[in-house]
Amino acid sequence: MTTTDTRPTTTRPSTEYLDPKLNSRIPEGPIERKWERHKFEMKLVSPTNRRRYTIIVVGSGLAGASAAATLGEAGYNVKCYTYHDSPRRAHSIAAQGGINAAKNYRNDGDSVFRLFYDTVKGGDFRAREANVYRLAEVSMAIIDQCVAQGVPFAREYSGYLDNRSFGGAQVARTFYARGQTGQQLLLGAYQALSRQIGLGQVKMYSRTEMLDLVVIDGRARGIVTRDMVTGKIESHFADAVVLATGGYSNVFYLSTNAKACNATAIWRAHRRGAFFGNPCYTQIHPTCIPVSGDHQSKLTLMSESLRNDGRVWVPKTPGDKRAPSSIPEDERDYYLERRYPSYGNLAPRDIASRAAKQVCDEGRGVGPGGLGVYLDFSDAIKRLGKKVIEDRYGNLFEMYERITGENPYETPMRIYPAVHYTMGGLWVDYNLMSTIPGLFVVGEANFSDHGANRLGASALMQGLADGYFILPYTIADYLASTKLPKVDTTHLAFRETEAEAADRIKRLLNTKGTRTVDMFHRELGKIMWDYCGMARNEAGLKHALEMIPELRERFWREVKVPGEGNDINQELEKAGRVADFMELAELMCIDALHRDESCGGHFREEHQTEDGEAERDDENFSYVAAWEFTGLGTKPVLHKEPLIFEYVKPTVRSYK
Amino acid sequence: MNLTLHVWRQKNPQSEGRFVTYQAKDIIPDMSFLEMLDVVNQELIMKGEEPIAFEHDCREGICGSCGMVINGYPHGGHRGTTACQLHMRHFKDGDTITIEPWRARAFPVMKDLIVDRSAFDRIIQAGGFISANTGVAQDANAILVPKQNADAAMDAAACIGCGACVAACPNASAMLFTAAKIAHLGLLPQGQPERYTRVVRMVEQMDKEGFGGCTNIGECAAACPKVIPLDVIARMNRDLLVAKIKGV
Ligand SMILES: Cc1cc2nc3c(=O)[nH]c(=O)nc-3n(C[C@H](O)[C@H](O)[C@H](O)COP(=O)(O)OP(=O)(O)OC[C@H]3O[C@@H](n4cnc5c(N)ncnc54)[C@H](O)[C@@H]3O)c2cc1C
Ligand code: SF4
Ligand code: FES
């Protein structure tokens, strides 16, 4: 599917065993000069020429809205798509905790290099150094931009911006807007986007779902969508396509993601030739509200920021059923503080999640089913007073009480890990372009920057870095240096792709089976959580790889989708998404099985130290796994992008 | 517990809607209201009927997708709570619950409980922003914002665009929504240059969309799941007056 791009690059072939299909295009030169230099060397599209180019942006979350707004401001002709009724509802809205930036406003020793270092280390040395450095570099401009837009970040009494700390960092570099940072950042981007819509620079397609990507002569030239109100299948052409469609945690059915989050856009692009990077890297967040029963439809995150003041503990004795208040201090195990004294309760997510699983496996978990640990604020309330805690976390405490009926000012919260974020995604080069020329991928949908584990408050940073400050430059370089023949939606490729999409919908509606979409989705989620979740092993993954194709086959035989295709049909929407999850799930397990090491969020039980820490295998696995689709049911082809660490030498990732 | 539901069913904007009665069986108190509807819907699908269409996404009170009138109250009438955050422990066995969509001229019903709220987007497009192109910004700490202003701006910015204020208002007015954005931006130094053009344009658009006028009843703030304070409306009216005097 892919064509080799022959234009000259300044990229050095980074290693002897370079895969011809994977050119990461990392610019030459010292790391702190790469982006600057690359920006200078990239081609530009002059302001008067920009309106001649049409760019499709799928997704209006932080990454999509910031990209669409910025491209609109620059003068491109932008078309933006979302399945929501309004761009403001994207899942980014739910991010609570904050956004990182190396501002060093606290004078506590932060710097671009430290944020870069923390992110590479936090990602367990499985991210591309050059990308991470650039992310840290542009982080500061993001905060500036957001403040200019009117994002009401928390302030000190002096009027200056306030900061808090997040997991995996020893400096306070996280900016926040109460417990609604994602909301405020998204509203900032949404307002910038709205302005461009009002000016006619961006045409917004709400309630419109992308069903497939259209590739012509090896280049991304458009998309096929379904109008979710009329059911109409339509084609849209462009000179370049940007996917900003978010993560795929919902493959697990239960996750902290919004209900509609799905992988269709990136999965369809993968099927058309975009390689999928590190699909098995998923993040399990340590602080979520435990499952309360079979009816559970999604999981609710309690922001990591709570670990600034909350202390995590379980009883020392397995099976201790006493109320938390009647367990004396010396019979409690503050296991994070004990095992990781220098980071304590702020140990990174993968480590904190696994530690919770371990104590629960030992029978020391609390609450129904023993699947929970305490997050206790009584010390902080004693030290700082209830008012301060209320100011910091009031809305989170309320949220907890609403869901559980328990008051966290009086009794410790119960928390348990849940699937939260996917570090994996479509493989992109330094320019954020996938292996399909003209197809760019930004935000959580791409694989870049976070390696095998993402640090808290870094996803918002990455989404906005991509959308505001990186993509607008790199996409210009593509447009300026590529000769694109004129096409429109009468092209055969559009007709064919439309027909395929319509056919799938017909099949889903006509199966008229006996089981609902949710039943299948739950079943898939259980397989994934049991065998490709917090801990994985060879036997389990092999078992999952037998179960998933079988489930997929049953899905297409037995699924029951009520209603018709020509109006609002939420079951039909879900069915298409679950069908794609069923395919992606298999690739995740294949990747998890092939990666015979533990790293970050990917924990292979075969590879751990005596005290249960992950054991990486740099000699054999220091690469990005980029998978090429070869047809459903046939083995995908693995391409390796070697990771070279010139600035942060891989070490055992210790937070002790 | 077992409940009786009277739910508004309407195929599309053109067709007439009506209430249909369903039984919700074996509901447990830990379920959310939407999870209760999930249970009913799964049963409907198995019976070969179309499930109740309702909007939802985050299910944690922040995306503003969900919205339905429950027993006469938008979002169910619990202070600071969206429909998705409402839990079944607030109901008891044998209760009858009426569920209907937002009712407002500017929010036409699309299907069952789903209404078209795009009018809100158009109000924002008319002026609900600060015109700051990417790249123009100076260092973030060069702009000082007194904490009390930042906090008040944040209070107003917490609006999730759900539309409950409109649904609660006897005039179906969108004043609280519009005024919340005007207060958020107008309380910050960055929002000053466009302060008066913003209010004029947004109010103009609001009127164009067919929302009713405000007669100071206050139902909007009482129904608002984000507890947006009513005084944002007074602030907006002041700004509007100043704009008129200035001839904006
Ligand atoms: C509960 C929660 C809390 C979080 N808190 C934090 C935090 O404090 N700090 C932090 O840094 N990160 C946090 N994260 C992670 C972060 O929020 C996300 O990674 C990030 O917001 C993703 O942004 P995005 O723009 O890539 O995608 P999204 O915001 O998910 O947007 C995806 C967009 O794509 C559209 N879309 C998708 N598929 C299609 C399709 N086929 N057709 C049309 N449109 C489509 C959607 O409609 C949507 O507009 C949190 C995540 C969760 C779940
Ligand atoms: S003001 Fe309140 S009720 Fe109205 S849209 Fe905003 S959050 Fe909803
Ligand atoms: S579903 Fe998001 S606010 Fe209710």
How many helices (H) and strands (E) chain B has is answered by: 8, 7
d(CA B47, CA B165): 36
Domain residue ranges in chain B: 3-110, 118-246
**Torsion-angle region of B86 (φ positive above 0: left; ψ -120 to 50: alpha; else: beta):** beta
d(CA A176, CA A391): 13
d(CA A12, CA B75): 58
Mean pLDDT of A275-284: 97
Q: Is B128 exposed, middle or buried, given 0-12, 13-18 or 19+ CB atoms closer than 10 A?
A: buried
Nearest Cβ partner of B154 from A87, A88, A152? A152
Lookup: tokens for A90: 């994207």
What is the number of the ligand 3 atom nearest to the C-alpha of B66? 4
Helix, strand and coil percent figures for chain A, each rounded to 5:
40, 15, 45
Q: Is the pLDDT of residue A136 over 60?
A: yes
Amino acid, res. B236: M
What was the pLDDT predicted at B192? 98
Q: What residues of chain B lie within 8 A of the CB of A89, using their CB?
A: 57, 63-65, 161
Phi, psi torsion values for A239, nearest 5 degrees: -90, -20
What was the pLDDT predicted at A586? 98
B19-51: pLDDT as tens digits? 999 999 999 999 999 999 999 999 999 999 999
How many helices (H) and strands (E) chain A has is answered by: 17, 19
Q: Is the pLDDT of residue B91 over 60?
A: yes
Q: Is the pLDDT of residue A474 over 90?
A: yes
What was the pLDDT predicted at A4? 43
Q: Is the pLDDT of residue A5 over 60?
A: no
Establish whether residue A99 lines the binding site of ligand 1, counting it when its CB lies within 6 angstroms of any ligand atom: yes
What was the pLDDT predicted at B21? 98
* Ligand 2 midpoint to CA A224 (Å): 34
* Secondary structure letter of residue A432 according to DSSP: S
What is the number of the ligand 2 atom nearest to the C-alpha of B177? 1
A583-602: pLDDT as tens digits? 999 999 999 999 999 999 99
d(CA B49, CA A110): 59
Place of tokens 């910031």: A66
**Residue ranges of B 40-79 with Cβ closer than 8 A to chain A:** 42, 44-46, 48-51, 53, 55-65
pLDDT above 70 coverage of chain A, percent: 97
Q: What chain A residue is nearest to B117 in terms of C-alpha separation?
A: A85
> Could you tell me which residue, B74 or A398, shows the higher pLDDT?
B74
Nearest Cβ partner of A147 from B51, B140, B158? B140
**Torsion-angle region of A633 (φ positive above 0: left; ψ -120 to 50: alpha; else: beta):** left
Q: What residues of chain A lie within 8 A of the CB of B147, using their CB?
A: 155-157, 159
Q: Do B117 and A398 touch (CB under 8 A)?
A: no
Q: Is the pLDDT of residue A8 over 80?
A: no
Q: Is A197 on the interface with B (CB under 8 A)?
A: yes
Nearest Cβ partner of A161 from B39, B49, B140? B140
Q: Is the pLDDT of residue A2 over 90?
A: no
A34-62: pLDDT as tens digits? 999 999 999 999 999 999 999 999 999 99
d(CA A559, CA A551): 11
What was the pLDDT predicted at A169? 85
Q: Which residues contact B142 (CB under 8 A, 6 or more apart)?
A: none
Range name among A115-119, A491-495, A606-610 with the lowest pLDDT average: A606-610
DSSP string, A512-564: --SB-HHHHHHHHHHHHHHHHSSSB-HHHHHHHHHHHHHHHHHHHHHB---S-
Helix, strand and coil percent figures for chain B, each rounded to 5:
40, 15, 45
What was the pLDDT predicted at A17? 54
Phi, psi torsion values for A579, nearest 5 degrees: -60, -40
| 3-state SS, residue B205 | helix
CB A424 within 8 A of CB A279: yes
Q: What residues of chain B lie within 8 A of the CB of A157, using their CB?
A: 147
Q: How confident is the model at residue A9 (pLDDT cuts 50, 70, 90)?
A: very low
Q: How confident is the model at residue A378 (pLDDT cuts 50, 70, 90)?
A: very high
CA-nearest residue for atom 37, ligand 1, is: A245
Establish whether residue A98 lines the binding site of ligand 1, counting it when its CB lies within 6 angstroms of any ligand atom: yes
CA-based end-to-end distance of chain B: 59
Q: Taking CA B223 as the corner, what is the angle to CA B222 and CA B224, rounded to the nearest 5 degrees?
A: 95
Length of chain A: 656
Q: Is A141 on the interface with B (CB under 8 A)?
A: yes
* Ligand 2 midpoint to CA B228 (Å): 7
CA distance A13 to chain B (A): 33
CATH 3.10.20.30 describes domain B3-110:
yes
Question: If we measure between CA atoms, which residue out of A210, A238, A264 comes closest to residue A491?
Answer: A238
Range name among A282-291, A299-308, B182-191, B198-207 with the lowest pLDDT average: A299-308
For residue A330, CA distances in Å to A252, A320, A333, A370 come to 38, 14, 8, 21
The yes-or-no answer on residue A271 being catalytic is: no
Phi, psi torsion values for A482, nearest 5 degrees: -125, 135
Establish whether residue B119 lines the binding site of ligand 2, counting it when its CB lies within 6 angstroms of any ligand atom: no
For residue A656, CA distances in Å to A165, A342, B240 come to 18, 6, 59
Please state the CATH superfamily assignment of the domain spanning residues B118-246 in this structure: Alpha-helical ferredoxin (1.10.1060.10)
* Ligand 2 midpoint to CA B147 (Å): 24
Establish whether residue B5 lines the binding site of ligand 3, counting it when its CB lies within 6 angstroms of any ligand atom: no
Q: What chain A residue is nearest to B84 in terms of C-alpha separation?
A: A403
CATH 1.20.58.100 describes domain A489-623:
yes
Q: Is the pLDDT of residue A532 over 80?
A: yes
> Mutation test of the interface with chain A: which of B134, B144, B184, B208, choosing the one with the most A Cβ atoms within 10 A?
B134
Establish whether residue B69 lines the binding site of ligand 2, counting it when its CB lies within 6 angstroms of any ligand atom: no
**Torsion-angle region of B26 (φ positive above 0: left; ψ -120 to 50: alpha; else: beta):** left
Q: Do A194 and B118 touch (CB under 8 A)?
A: no
Q: Which residues contact B157 (CB under 8 A, 6 or more apart)?
A: A152, A177, A184, A187, B180, B181, B184
Q: How confident is the model at residue A395 (pLDDT cuts 50, 70, 90)?
A: confident
**How many CB atoms sit inside 10 A of residue B248's CB?**
15
Q: What chain A residue is nearest to B128 in terms of C-alpha separation?
A: A191
Handedness of CA A476, A480, A484, A488 (dihedral sign): positive
Q: Is the pLDDT of residue B14 over 50?
A: yes
Q: Is A152 on the interface with B (CB under 8 A)?
A: yes
Mean pLDDT of B194-222: 97
CA distance B214 to chain A (A): 25
Domain residue ranges in chain A: 285-418, 489-623
* Ligand 1 midpoint to CA A77 (Å): 24
What was the pLDDT predicted at A14? 44
CB B23 within 8 A of CB B33: no
Query: Among all ligands shown, which has an atom nearest to the Cα of B223?
Result: 2
How large is the greatest C-alpha to C-alpha distance in chain B, in angstroms? Answer: 64
Q: Is the pLDDT of residue A245 over 70?
A: yes
Q: Which residues contact B193 (CB under 8 A, 6 or more apart)?
A: none
Alpha helices in A31-111 (DSSP H): 31-41, 62-74
> Mutation test of the interface with chain B: which of A162, A180, A194, choosing the one with the most B Cβ atoms within 10 A?
A194
Q: Is B136 on the interface with A (CB under 8 A)?
A: yes
Q: Is the pLDDT of residue B155 over 60?
A: yes
Looking at the DSSP assignment, which residues form a beta bridge with residue A559? A515
pTM of the model: 0.96
What was the pLDDT predicted at A166? 81
Establish whether residue A100 lines the binding site of ligand 1, counting it when its CB lies within 6 angstroms of any ligand atom: no
Q: Is the pLDDT of residue A571 over 50?
A: yes
Establish whether residue B74 lines the binding site of ligand 2, counting it when its CB lies within 6 angstroms of any ligand atom: no
Q: Which residues contact B234 (CB under 8 A, 6 or more apart)?
A: none
Query: Among all ligands shown, which has an atom nearest to the Cα of A175?
Result: 1
Q: How confident is the model at residue B71 (pLDDT cuts 50, 70, 90)?
A: very high
Q: Do A571 and B48 touch (CB under 8 A)?
A: no
Chain A with chain B: Cβ pairs closer than 8 A? 211
**Residue ranges of A 324-383 with Cβ closer than 8 A to chain B:** none
Q: Is A297 on the interface with B (CB under 8 A)?
A: yes
Lookup: tokens for A24: 């990461």
Looking at the DSSP assignment, which residues form a beta bridge with residue A114? none
Q: Do A85 and B65 touch (CB under 8 A)?
A: yes
Q: What residues of chain A lie within 8 A of the CB of B59, using their CB?
A: 258-259, 297-298, 300
CA distance A293 to chain B (A): 8
Task: Give the DSSP H or E segment for A277.
Answer: strand A276-277
A285-418 fold? Flavocytochrome C3; Chain A, domain 1 (3.90.700)
Choice among A349, A414, A536, A604 that is catalytic: A349
What was the pLDDT predicted at A393? 86
Q: How confident is the model at residue B108 (pLDDT cuts 50, 70, 90)?
A: very high
Mean pLDDT of A382-388: 95
Amino acid, res. B206: M
Q: What chain B residue is nearest to A515 in terms of C-alpha separation?
A: B46
Q: What residues of chain A lie within 8 A of the CB of B42, using their CB?
A: 516, 518
Q: Is the pLDDT of residue B145 over 90?
A: yes
A613-633: pLDDT as tens digits? 889 999 999 999 999 999 998
Cα A580 to the center of its chain, rounded Å: 17
Lookup: tokens for B4: 């009786």
Q: Do A150 and B191 touch (CB under 8 A)?
A: yes
Q: Do B117 and A85 touch (CB under 8 A)?
A: yes
Establish whether residue B107 lines the binding site of ligand 2, counting it when its CB lies within 6 angstroms of any ligand atom: no
What was the pLDDT predicted at A388? 92
Q: What is the mean pLDDT of chain A?
A: 94
Q: Do A469 and B158 touch (CB under 8 A)?
A: no
Pick from B32, B37, B58 the residue to mutate for probing ligand 3's pocket: most ligand atoms within 8 Å of its CB: B58
Q: Is the pLDDT of residue A334 over 80?
A: yes
Q: Do B60 and A300 touch (CB under 8 A)?
A: yes
* Ligand 2 midpoint to CA A394 (Å): 20
Q: Do A89 and B32 touch (CB under 8 A)?
A: no
